[in-house]
Amino acid sequence: MPKRRPALSIVWILIILCLCVGAPGLYYAGRPLPVEMREELYDGVVYHRKVHLTPHLMIAHIITVDLHTEGISFLVTPPDYTKKRDEHPLKARTTSRFLDEFGLQVAVNADGFSPWYSNSFLDYYPHPGDPVTPNGFAASRGKRYSDGVEPTLYISRDNVAQFGSPKGKIYNAISGSHMLVENGEPVAGLDDSIPAPRTAIGVDFGPDRLVIVVVDGRQPFYSEGATLAELADLLISYGAYAAMNLDGGGSSTLVVAGPFGPRVVNSPIDSHIPGRERPVANHLGVYAGNK
């Protein structure tokens, strides 16, 4: 028996080493690496990954879209129900499903919606296909299907993107909870104490570029998220002159087309499960040409 103790000790040491090496690997599996990068996905469409270590861990994903690039166009989730007797105009779907269904190259979640609840990963609403309504005004290629208060981003047929009153006929429109950036400055009074997963969208001064930001959050030792003030500063650093907050939390998801189907480029966290996508109401999608 005494001769077997060293062998057992070696086995336990190897097990402990495997756990030390393997546990972090399992924790980070499926998540984007916490490494900054820049990649041109398509002509006029650039992806950035930004990593902040202080004042807390934060991983942000930024898409900039040149509104003047040939072949660029946009799609807001079209209504699934158009009859007046239908209480809710949309069927909930994940952002990946939206991108795949409409053959898009980039997609992001958009407005908050109702009904919604999340008591556990077994008790939640909506499931894919359940009826939902965006909180604010929404239109998809000329079809208005939801009314609500501003702020609203309008994108015309010829890619003029602006907040406030649209010029001419309404084409695509998505709404958010409130403005984050106005006239190139953060809106006064933004919360700077609660980091969370966030989604936001803005335009530069021209407007010549659309700026989409998704921040991962609620994932200890990976990314805690961004406060609203930090989100505004991040948007401004990528050129946003005006920007609004979209639905965040477990809804925050950014997807691009990949060779084997939709590729989620951030780390969503629905029902406290990293990598799990939430079915949401509407989205904004980008059609792009070749790289």
pLDDT of 41-64, one tens digit each?
999 999 999 999 999 999 999 999
Residues 24 and 107 occupy one common structural domain: no
Regarding whether 38 and 26 lie in a shared domain, the answer is no
Rounded CA-CA distance 99/286 in Å is 9
Q: How far is C-alpha 132 from the chain's CA centre?
A: 19
Torsion sign over Cα 70, 111, 280, 142: negative
Q: DSSP per residue over 206-233, as a string?
A: SS-EEEEEEE--SBTTTB--B-HHHHHH
> Does one domain contain both 24 and 47?
no
Number of domains within the chain? 2
Task: Examine the domain organization and report whether 12 and 38 are in the same domain.
Answer: no
User: Could you report the per-residue pLDDT of 218-244, keeping only the tens digit for each?
Assistant: 999 999 999 999 999 999 999 999 999
Q: Nearest 5°: phi and psi at 66?
A: -75, 115
Query: Quick one: how far is CA 231 from the chain centroid?
Result: 13
CA 15, CA 57: separation in Å to the nearest integer?
Answer: 30
24 lies in the same domain as 100: no
Instruction: Looking at the structure, tell me whether residues 115 and 137 fall in a common domain.
Output: yes
Tell me how many degrees the CA angle 281-285-291 measures, rounded to the nearest 5: 155
Q: How many CB atoms lie within 10 A of CB 193?
A: 7
The residue range of the domain holding 14 is 1-30
Residue type at position 148 = G
- 59 and 131: one domain? yes
Predicted structure pTM score? 0.90
Q: Specify whether 259 is located in the same domain as 154.
A: yes
C-alpha distances in Å from residue 68, one per residue of 63, 172, 207, 209, 210: 15, 17, 10, 8, 10
Task: Say if residues 232 and 186 touch (Cβ distance below 8 Å).
Answer: yes
In this prediction, residue 72 carries a pLDDT of: 98
Give residue 15's pLDDT band: very low, low, confident or very high (50, 70, 90). Answer: low
pLDDT digits (tens, 9 = 90+) for 94-148: 999 999 999 999 999 999 999 999 999 899 999 999 999 999 999 999 999 999 8
